[in-house]
Amino acid sequence: MTVVPVKQLLSSSFLRGNSAIKNRISIGEYCSVANTIADVCIVGVGGLGGILAKELASAGLKVVGFERGPVPTLEDYAPRDAVKFLIRPELSDWSKHEPTTTRKKPGDKARIQYRTSPLNVLGGALLHWTGQSSRYMPGDFKLHTNEIASGNAERAKADLTGYDIIDWPLSYDDLEPYYEKFEWEFGISGTGGKNPFAGPRQRDFPVPPLRHSAKMEIFAEACRKLGYHPYDTAAGILSQAYRPPQPYDTRMPERPACVYCGHCNFYGCHVHAKSASLYTVVPVAQQTGNFALHANSKVFHLLSDDKGNATGVRYFDPAGRAHEQRARVVILSAFVFESVRLLLLSKTDHKRFAKGLANTSGYVGRNILAHGDVRAMAAFDDYIINGFIGPGSAAMRIDDFNGNNFDHTGLGFIRGGTIGTSGDGTPATRFDVLPPDVPAWGEEFKKYYTHYYTRTMDLNMQPETLPHRDNRVDLDPRQTDRWGIALPRVTFDFHQNELRLQKYMAGVGERIMKATGASKVWTEEKGRPNRWAGATRMGADPKNSVVNEFCQTHDVPNLFIVGASVFPSMAGYPPTATVAALAYRTAEFVLKQKQWFD
């Protein structure tokens, strides 16, 4: 182990002006530097970091992974603790130490917000995700071409002032083999060929769909009455016991089927039927002997040299001591907000990266994205729904109003979203399924809830958000974390296209709900941000993007960013299957750069 004098470390541009971190490092006499140079350093060993670690370590590369959270045990995540995991995330060690600040527009005062995504544990948010595993549609990768260049936006009379729309630098066909690999290695339940709007696939899902709930059947029947096309959503939860067969990774252990407990979204799976990196790809990476994991270790700076290459990371160990780990390749696979924060914190004295590492375009932090979820809800006087039955990803959905699958002429907006219903009916997640004329507290609330808890259902609509110049992540000038490091500040609001789309989608949901024969129907028309993406987007032009099609930064050839932050746009589906496919594809690309590891 090499020792770097504190005086030398404190002179770096990152620490200059950051007195809080200076003071922490100054407590000791040195910052230790590992004597070995890793082939690859992975920052964030969550769902994607686990994939990268397995692929790279299995090929013989020496990989060091840093996870700022602990290694959770079954006893940690098996309890159905709604207070800890859902209602009061600020009480959980997995989220309370890494908040963000949030505001709607520049000039507003930002407030502290605690989130369970990211989830700061080994395996990340895949430990408690719902399990929606849909591939993006082919048209989702070409928004500028399909919406603007084609004239669709003009025909729709959409006001796109303030938006910054580009195409992805890759296509559905480029990702299709990696979608397949994710589905077969993680065990995704589903059936191909049922959704007429889906892209072509070379192979069906490895296991059949999950069982149907009453909500799914009621929704499907109503949609068929209206001429829509319901289908079983791909689910990251096993419908039967499964172990990947050849030619996929047979080193992963067999996992059991879902027991339909209904505690999926926000909770870990106590039987491991949910497809989570913690007990799939991460153990395989560790078994190789080529993967060194540093848990409870927070990376606070990305190192680079005068030539513009990444050279490693600086991090705090669990005891708060500062260390350096050198590496030939550095991969950021942290959550959206953290990847931006690290790039901005890692600015250098050199003019090229004075605004942040890999940020000559100025696009680091720009155009953050989120779904604008809205709901349509219904109560039934003469029908028991039991909406709490079944996993959250046992879902029936339609894509008739997703993407560009419907006529937008004169609607005033472009794009769309997916619509569906699923499980997730525990009391803590159903208390707000209330008609607008019922109070949210008191005797009348209790009376209504007691009678209708088993008689309500809701549709969730996931309208996409277009990239807007006002939506971004930067460093909060006042608020810091427990290490004294500036928190990520999220500036985000829905703009004219989203507001019109959300209102339209609420109307579609209301129409479907009325077709179910429900006694009472009501809707939400204003979206709630969910499922974050964007802020280090990929693109063909280095002037308006941060990474290329292989998630390789334009500015720093041996620095990669793998995660939803590289999305230039967001489809109606959750990003999970697409980011997993990108992780497999990026790992393959890195392994082909043999000159880096000679």
| Residues contacting 171, CB < 8 A, separation 6+ | 138, 141, 142
Ramachandran area for residue 262 (φ above 0: left; ψ -120 to 50: alpha; else beta): left
At 117 the pLDDT is 66
Mean of pLDDT values over 493-514: 96
Give backbone dihedrals phi and psi of 311, rounded to 5 degrees, phi first: -120, -5
Q: What is the pLDDT of residues 70-91, one digit of tens each?
A: 898 888 878 777 777 777 776 6
Helix axes 172-186, 576-592, angle to 10 degrees: 100
155: left (phi over 0), alpha (psi -120 to 50) or beta: alpha
Q: What is the pLDDT of residue 495?
A: 96
Whole-angstrom distance, CA of residue 589 vs CA of residue 593 = 7
Three-state SS string over 135-168 comes to CCCHHHHCHHHHHHHCCHHHHHCCCCCCECCCCC
Say yes or no to pLDDT of 515 above 70.
yes
> For 120-130, what is the mean pLDDT?
82
The mean per-residue pLDDT over the stretch 150-172 comes to: 97
Q: What is the phi/psi pair of residue 538, to 5°?
A: -90, 155
Given pLDDT bands bounded at 50, 70 and 90, which one contains residue 5? very low
pLDDT at 364 over 90: yes
pLDDT higher than 50, residue 11: no
The pLDDT score that the predictor gives to residue 414 is: 97
**Cα separations in angstroms, 39 against 419, 444, 503:** 44, 63, 50
pLDDT band at 434 (very low <50, low <70, confident <90, very high): confident
pLDDT classification of 519: cutoffs 50, 70, 90:
very high
Kindly report the backbone phi and psi dihedral angles of residue 168, in degrees, each rounded to the nearest multiple of 5, phi listed first. Answer: -70, 150
Residue 332 pLDDT exceeds 70: yes
The CATH number, out of the four listed (1.10.3720.10, 3.50.50.60, 2.40.30.10, 1.10.760.10), of the domain defined by the range 34-95+118-192+210-596:
3.50.50.60
Does residue 359 register a pLDDT over 80? Answer: yes
pLDDT of residue 469: 96
Between 576 and 99, residue with greater pLDDT: 576
Q: What is the pLDDT of residues 210-254, one digit of tens each?
A: 999 899 999 999 999 999 999 999 999 999 999 999 999 999 999
Neighbours of 59 (CB within 10 A): 16
Average pLDDT over all residues of the chain: 90
Give the residue, 548 or 84, on which the prediction is more confident.
Answer: 548
* DSSP secondary structure string for all residues of 89-143: GGGSTTTTTS-EEEESSTTSPPEEE--SSS--STTGGGGT---B-PPPPGGGG-H
Quick: pLDDT tens for 436-479.
999 988 999 999 988 998 899 989 999 999 999 999 999 999 99
